[in-house]
Structure 1
């Protein structure tokens, strides 16, 4: 049986085959194979369907008048959805936070570029045709946005994160 090997994402089972107690069957499968989903088919009253869902089943589908093709298609859809959920919930590799260039205004980025070139505030102001006080104001804003303590720290962050090359 595939389930015993652990290679099954979804178990599609007729509720009539999970006798004598479909709820106990559901709990047993969920305990032994927590990643496998159970989907019941067949005639189940609303109370039984609720009990199965509470025990961990994905649900109960009623197949009427040869609805086997529909059940198979639905099961394939559930399998695909479960696989995608597994792929998106995998723990992401931790990385150092990277400040995005979009966080800085164009002017702040221009000033940061001047800082990384080792220019003094007066030189940056001359290049940008602004006052030295304007450079200082923008520099304070970019320090705050980058989480930098000072000029040297801002330059280090810029190089370390690839904000400037």
Structure 2
């Protein structure tokens, strides 16, 4: 196994980034870059046909984003391990990628030696996390997100039913400004930026259910 090069696929929508990553592995007999993809859909197609050991996957790409591509690779039963390589380390980027099945999550400011070690580890199926991402995930485990208050849950249920802030205020006999304040608190606690994402996360975490409980 050690004599067989690790076969790589690079997925990033910036040509200069792909060139830089390819350059890090060029000349190293331990690696073989099979191809490059400029978006998530192309990454899935190339992974299907080239059968790489590791896909270096950016997250924010046109046509199909990285998280969706990771889910699609899992759906089709691709053998490749996915090592996310991105500039973003926020909860809304990290958690969906890990949940989708990424083996590792590395930031683009990583040095060549760190990237090579990460790829070798990912090829073995070992979890790889950049220090800032590991700290973020540990922080969430040690200090779970604040629970929603009873009032916030009421408002979240109304949002899920399609109510506007004004409509929610009328139903709860409170001011529209108060509803807006509660909505912002809900966003902060759930780590989202809009109403649709808040509802989706709430259902995923069991805070809302189809029967309205």
**What TM-score results when the alignment is normalised by the length of structure 1?**
0.40
Higher-Rg member (1/2) = 1
Which structure's residues are more often helix, by fraction? 1
- If asked which structure has higher relative contact order (CA below 8 Å, sep 6+), I would say 1
Higher strand share: 2
